[in-house]
Structure 1
Amino acid sequence: MGRYVRLLFTAIFFLFLCNASAQSILDDEQSVLKEFQDANMPANRFEVFFNSINRYNINSPYDWLDTIKIYRTNAEKTNDTNAIRLYLVMEAQLYNDLGEFDKSTAVARELYELKDTLDMESRNRVLNVLDNNYANLQLYDKQIEIRQEKRELGITDNVAFYDIYSNLGLYTEAWQQFAKEVRPTIADNDSYTLAKYHSKLGNFLRLDDSAPTALRELNKAKGYLNIYNNDISIQKSEDDIFEAELLEAKIDGGIAKCHVVMGELEEAIPLLEKSIEVLKASPHNNDQKEVVENTLFLAEANLKMDKNIAAKRILDTEFNNVSILQTIKKNSLLAIYYDKIENYQNATSYYKRNERIKDSLEAKQSNIIKQQLVTIVANEDLINKERLLDQKNRDMEMIMSDMKAKEERSNLVFVSLIFTLMGFAGLVYAYLKSIKNQRLIAEQKYIIENALIEKDSLLKEIHHRVKNNLQMVSSLLSLQTKNTRSKAAIEALEEGKSRVKAMALIHQKLYQNDDLSVIEMQGYIESLINSVQSVYKKGGHNISITIDAEGTELDIDRAIPFGLILNELVSNSFKYAFPENDENGKIYIHLRKNGDQGYFEYTDNGVGLPEDTDERSNSSMGIRLMNRLVNQLQSKLNIEKQTEGVRFWFNFS
């Protein structure tokens, strides 16, 4: 008896230590946000926010946004204008990190109008955010204005255009101008800056279809970075070490992408996986774009090596802020995958999606060309600004001299010149008025488009928060399960957890969709079944499941009842349909909606329903729940007992 008591106390002590250790680790991981909240002045919080190595490792940008908005509201109550501006700078950066560039621009523009009242650090942050926002919004003329402002403030020595050329797809011009303008400014012993230079040059060359040359530049970058890392004479802070790790990950990713282009797939895959893992920890928006790019190349490499399952798993990764070109590439890779597994219907679907996107891009092509012209003109104007001003002054002096000479020679010529200038002034006035009207129309269109984008962003944020709240409920149910000994209670809690997950998936799919009004049911059902399988870990993994719902889309009012009905049916199949062996188990799910009429069918080949099913239906919570959910869809649940298994079906509108 004493031996068992000692064992019991040992187990309790071990659990206590594990819990304390886990809590300690969690506290350490949350130290960035905690340090921010513990700072006693807005200026100190500003410093913690911008100087933190990785502020999003534990807390998402939404958590930071909620916290900063609370502090800003308190500052507004006390009319602390300096604190309000500091919090607005942080909000602009947060919206930029979230990829909500319109919101970020709106906040930053409000601060930009007050730039003379900002300290140099805040003004620098605002200009950098606007620079990045305008690049992502393809407003290159405004981006150039911001860079001119930075040069006048002494933040930068010159105005660079190579990244704008790259964004426009003019990669040859980008790397040539980059090499010409940047290399002469770097000292030969500055190994870290040289590593960044060769890394960026290699990336431009790869985009310019020069993969072998790009690979040489990237290997140079890695060599310089190794020199920097091994140089013990250079004092490196935690920030310096973290930034060096991010740079190495970007270089590895660039080398791997060159290998993929050159068909050297075995060398590419480990480098891509390593690069993705490191860059995920970066708080920078551009690094997260690089994660998406590297993930697509990793999927491409797996497809080329016929590792189709691995490629599909990679392509199923969900990302925010995926660019149009990345979406096109992802659709192409999915089409190739479905071609390889001979699912030509899905392959055709993804090819059609790309055609629609490309048609949309072609419709915007003329606007892009105009933007390129504006950028090039602005570029030439900036480079030759002083020379043109001097030339203009000399020309004006010559014109005045000629006018004087002509005036002395002939009054008639003078009068003619006056009328010519008046006519020219009239033309200039009419031209300027036309430009002003065009700008007013463009600004009104921009405001309307921003309002629509903000509405979509708000809806996505709502669905995201609902999903998070439902996941919290699921976590609470899991916690309660661990503290419950009753088998019946555990089963009931697990069933409730499964139902909550089914609803959470609906909201997850909504905020991930471009179209917030409907849910694509094929993907949702696949995700739901994976979620149910994770609950019933000992069953259901050998069952062959066929889902026939491709192309079917439902609104949220129908999708939630469907999700809960399907959750009940699949859970019951996993628990009861195959009590002995599920090796030959089969489940078939069919969902179609044509116009106003829809049809749902679910069958399995298990042991079927017991003889007293009709009597049990009045006491079974699952069947009662399904009946009520089907009633919500204005239909009636039909149950058909078969020789092998059972069939559920109903029509709906």
Structure 2
Amino acid sequence: MGRYVRFLFLSVYFAFLSVSSAQIIAEDEESVLKEFQDTDLPSERFDVFFNSLDRYNVNSAYDWLDTIKIYLANAQKTQDTSAILLYQVMQAQIYNDLGDYDKSTVLAKELIAAPDTLDIEYQKKVLDVLDDNYANLQLYDKQIEVREQKRELGITENVAFYDIYSNLGLYREAWQQFAKEVKPTIADNDAYGLAKYHSKMGNYLRLDDSAPTALKEFNKAKGYLNVYLNDVSIQNSEGDIFEAELLKARIEGGIAKCHVELGEYELAIPLLEQSIEVLKASANNSDQSEVIENSLFLAEANLQEDAYAKAKKILDMEFENISVLQTIKRNSLLGAYYDRIENFKNATGYYKRNERIKDSLAEKQSTIIKQQLVTIVANKNLQNSQRMIDEQKRNIELIRNDMKAKDERINLVFISLIFTLLGFAGLVYAYLKSIKNQRLIAEQKHIIENSLVEKDSLLKEIHHRVKNNLQMVSSLLSLQTKNTRSKAAIEALEEGKSRVKAMALIHQKLYQNDDLSVIEMQGYIESLINSVQSVYKKGGHNISITIDAEGTELDIDRAIPFGLILNELVSNSFKYAFPENDENGKIYIHLRKNGDQGYFEYTDNGVGLPEDTDERAHSSMGIRLINRLVNQLQSKLNIDKQVDGVRFWFNFS
């Protein structure tokens, strides 16, 4: 009996401690739900619900749903019609926040079916919920109907389509439409608006596989946001500061994702961690989806940096409302993780999961639906364009009639001065024509300058993609090397990989240069030698290498043959020139070009060439490749055999 009483006492004591701890935690941060419950009028509760910075700071969406259901039941008992509608609007928003878009849509459609009972402010809330529901359900035709309804109610002037293009995967159309519709509406001194604009542009460009251009847009956005936050003349509310911090987190997340796509993982990791931490506090569904997206990129960056434990910890997290595409990426990363740790059974399992998911997407049907939706968007655009054209025609007709009446009055009053006016009109006409010509010249100059900038951007993007494709070929060769047992085959694959890297490096240097027509050879040769050294891990690291190519620039037609020639010569030196010890090894590379004439020389102080070099030249792929590349430069290879080492040289034009 005594034991039972003692056990009961301890149970009550620990329960009391738990309740006290919960109260302390709750008191640390003010509960929005408690503020909601302490408010008397339904309209005031509505304002607390929608105006709170983070209504789920302490209590979950399920707590809110249970509370609002109680208030709704009481309103129904008292037949308070206006209160019932307000609670149902809040209920529709909570179902949307929970990801139950079907239930939210049914409730919102019932509310909007009787618009006379809802004020315009409440109708806007319901239509916003419906808009987001249809976007998440991929019912874009319904989404367009909602936006048309907003325009008819005067909630918005224009119907925007750029986010629908983005959801359809048409990212190029999205950023073009966004730039056309949104940029003219932003004032030059609106730093916050410009930050949001460039952030959105950066995201669309990144999704369109244009990471370098996207990075520029994100950096512009970050600059404008810093101007906004540091402007002491602006009195920002707590809500404004919270929204600015969320925007900063989105921008930093976008910058980080660009760094990941460009292979700059160390720069990306801290930015992704900061972005995730801030965006977790947002109640916005799109921000929570961004948290998932940033987490997957963070896992990828850690995986590439060989931080396998960190990557696995992120990938094992439970994500709510993860999309199909995000699930596919997560499976791919898990497969890559298990590949890295050589657990090929698990890796194969995740790759097979992705295949099953892709098969279940029914791609053909999805493509047909997408085409239909694109047609709908095009038709809606056509209607809007036609409406604008008709309105412009009416304005032009009114202006024309007004001008005609004024001309008649002027002719009646000043008929005696007609010849003077004609002479003056001739002078004015000549002056206006001169101004018009100057304006046309300025516009054409502006168009040409923009075209040149766009051409440079496109060329950089092309070189970047070519480099990425060559890196993919190099990765495939590496994968093939792992599955090959033949030593000769492995050596051949490694040589092929080295040659591919030499060409990829050319394209990398081009898209990193401001001048796309030439390559600075000193830096390129240094990078090439580092790349070759990484292939031959057992040799070449103690050799003294002197490069004399400072200030020499070559175009891509000459740089690629030179890169491949150097790749072969340096590889041969690393492999054969110093078979016993490379501590006293020396390599000298000399490259000069003066006007139309150029000179190339390569020497090493190794063991030199064998006696049967001339006979081997016909069977050795390396020598044959060098000769063909020299012929491509319209020259002839010269080989000087020395006591210590060998010298290759040729002139070129």
Provide closer, same or farther for how the CA distance between residues 346 and 376 of structure 1 changes in structure 2, counting only shifts above 3 A: same
Give the C-alpha shift of residue 389 in structure 1.
7.6
Structure 1 equivalent of residue 47 of structure 2: 47
- Note the 1:80-229 alignment, pairs <5 A: 80-229=80-229
Give the C-alpha shift of residue 232 in structure 1.
1.5
Aligned-partner Cα distance in 2 for 1:61–1:268? 32
Provide closer, same or farther for how the CA distance between residues 181 and 251 of structure 1 changes in structure 2, counting only shifts above 3 A: same
Structure 1 equivalent of residue 247 of structure 2: 247
Matched AA of 2:211: A
Give the C-alpha shift of residue 371 in structure 1.
3.3
Matched AA of 1:380: N
Give the C-alpha shift of residue 106 in structure 1.
0.7
Matched AA of 2:384: I
Higher-Rg member (1/2): 2
Q: Which runs of 5+ in 1 are unaligned?
A: 1-15, 394-653
Structure 2 equivalent of residue 9 of structure 1: none
361-370 vs 305-314, which moves further: 361-370
Aligned-partner Cα distance in 2 for 1:218–1:281? 22
Give the structure-2-normalised TM-score: 0.56
Matched-pair contact (CA < 8 Å) for 1:30–1:59:
no
Structure 2 equivalent of residue 277 of structure 1: 277
Provide closer, same or farther for how the CA distance between residues 172 and 370 of structure 1 changes in structure 2, counting only shifts above 3 A: closer
Instruction: Give CA deviations for 1:182-221 in whole Å, capped at 9, x if unaligned.
Output: 0010001111111100000000000011101101110110
Matched AA of 1:213: T
- Note the 1:173-572 alignment, pairs <5 A: 173-361=173-361, 362-386=363-387
Give the C-alpha shift of residue 150 in structure 1.
1.2
Matched AA of 1:207: L
Matched-pair contact (CA < 8 Å) for 1:72–1:84:
yes
Q: Which has the higher contact order (CA 8 A, sep 6+)?
A: 1
Matched AA of 1:318: E
Could you list the structure 1 runs, at least 4 aligned residues long, displaced by more than 3 angstroms after superposition: 16-25, 387-391
Aligned-partner Cα distance in 1 for 2:118–2:98? 24
Q: Which runs of 5+ in 2 are unaligned?
A: 1-15, 395-653
Provide closer, same or farther for how the CA distance between residues 358 and 19 of structure 1 changes in structure 2, counting only shifts above 3 A: closer
Aligned-partner Cα distance in 2 for 1:390–1:20? 67
Give the C-alpha shift of residue 380 in structure 1.
3.0
Give the C-alpha shift of residue 384 in structure 1.
2.8
Instruction: Give CA deviations for 1:82-101 in whole Å, capped at 9, x if unaligned.
Output: 11110111111111111111
Matched-pair contact (CA < 8 Å) for 1:161–1:379:
no
Matched-pair contact (CA < 8 Å) for 1:141–1:374:
no
Aligned-partner Cα distance in 1 for 2:23–2:97? 29
Q: What SS does structure 2 have at the residue aligned with 1:235?
A: coil
Matched-pair contact (CA < 8 Å) for 2:161–2:377:
no
The alignment status of 1:74 with 2:91, answered yes or no, reads no
Aligned-partner Cα distance in 2 for 1:123–1:56? 24
Instruction: Give CA deviations for 1:411-469 in whole Å, capped at 9, x if unaligned.
Output: xxxxxxxxxxxxxxxxxxxxxxxxxxxxxxxxxxxxxxxxxxxxxxxxxxxxxxxxxxx
Aligned-partner Cα distance in 1 for 2:162–2:338? 38
Matched AA of 2:61: P
Give the C-alpha shift of residue 285 in structure 1.
0.7
Matched-pair contact (CA < 8 Å) for 1:256–1:272:
yes
Aligned-partner Cα distance in 1 for 2:176–2:283? 30
Structure 1 equivalent of residue 465 of structure 2: none
CA RMSD of aligned residues (A): 2.3
Matched-pair contact (CA < 8 Å) for 2:335–2:346:
yes
Aligned-partner Cα distance in 2 for 1:197–1:274? 22
Matched AA of 1:280: K
Q: What SS does structure 2 have at the residue aligned with 1:217?
A: helix
Aligned-partner Cα distance in 2 for 1:89–1:17? 39
Give the C-alpha shift of residue 151 in structure 1.
1.5
Provide closer, same or farther for how the CA distance between residues 367 and 199 of structure 1 changes in structure 2, counting only shifts above 3 A: same
Aligned-partner Cα distance in 2 for 1:385–1:112? 29
Q: What SS does structure 1 have at the residue aligned with 2:311?
A: helix
Q: What SS does structure 1 have at the residue aligned with 2:158?
A: coil
Matched AA of 1:119: D
Aligned-partner Cα distance in 1 for 2:136–2:18? 46
Provide closer, same or farther for how the CA distance between residues 385 and 91 of structure 1 changes in structure 2, counting only shifts above 3 A: farther
Instruction: Give CA deviations for 1:269-321 in whole Å, capped at 9, x if unaligned.
Output: 00000000000000111100000000000001011111111100000111111
Provide closer, same or farther for how the CA distance between residues 40 and 28 of structure 1 changes in structure 2, counting only shifts above 3 A: farther
Instruction: Give CA deviations for 1:442-498 in whole Å, capped at 9, x if unaligned.
Output: xxxxxxxxxxxxxxxxxxxxxxxxxxxxxxxxxxxxxxxxxxxxxxxxxxxxxxxxx
